[in-house]
Structures are given as C-alpha cells and as structure tokens.
Amino acid sequence: MDKWDKRNRPTRLEKRFEFETYQETRDFLDGLGELSESKKIFPDISFGKTYVNITLRPESEEKDAQITDLENKFATRIDGLLD
C-alpha cells in the first residue's frame, strides 16, 4: 500500500485514494466517518465521484506541532478500511 506523504508548512500527512465507483467511494467515506467519530479525530477531506483526499494535521494547534504516533496510527487505521 502507498505511504502517506508527509508535508510541511503546515506539518501534515496527506494521501489520495482512488476508487472504481461512487459506491466504493461512499463506503470508504462511511468507514472513515465512523473511525473519526470513535477516535475523535477529524481530518480535512476532499472527495469527488471516485477519489478521496485526506489531510491529517497534528492534534496540537501549536505553531511547531509535529506529527505524532496519534496521527500515524490513525493513518494506518484509515489504510485498514481498504483491507
């Protein structure tokens, strides 16, 4: 599975997921919504008919906040939605 892209200014993890159909896109978004709710982590998400882009920012809103285990584990759980 592709890795998440780590980007800076501001620090964040990003990944694009592509799907064959709108139904698959929605199923993924539903799973992601349940995961967000259970973990209380709410990434920024963009999507269209067959793609979803996710941006995960550090939970801390301090200026120099870094990506921690919290975000990395959440990213891994998102990947797990596709298993």
Binding site for its own copies (CB under 8 A): 22, 26, 29, 33, 36-37, 42-49
Output 42 or 60, the one with its CB closest to its own copies. Answer: 42
Give the C-alpha separation, 10 to 29, whole Å: 24
User: What are the helix (H) ranges across 9-59?
Assistant: 22-39
**Type and span of the H or E element at 44:** strand 44-48
Give the integer Cα–Cα distance in Å for 70 and 23. 29
Q: In whole angstroms, how close is the CB of 30 to its own copies at the nearest point?
A: 9
Whichever of 47 and 77 has its CB closer to its own copies, that residue is 47
Cβ 64 to its own copies shortest distance, Å:
22
SS3 57: coil
State which residue, 47 or 79, has the beta carbon closest to its own copies: 47
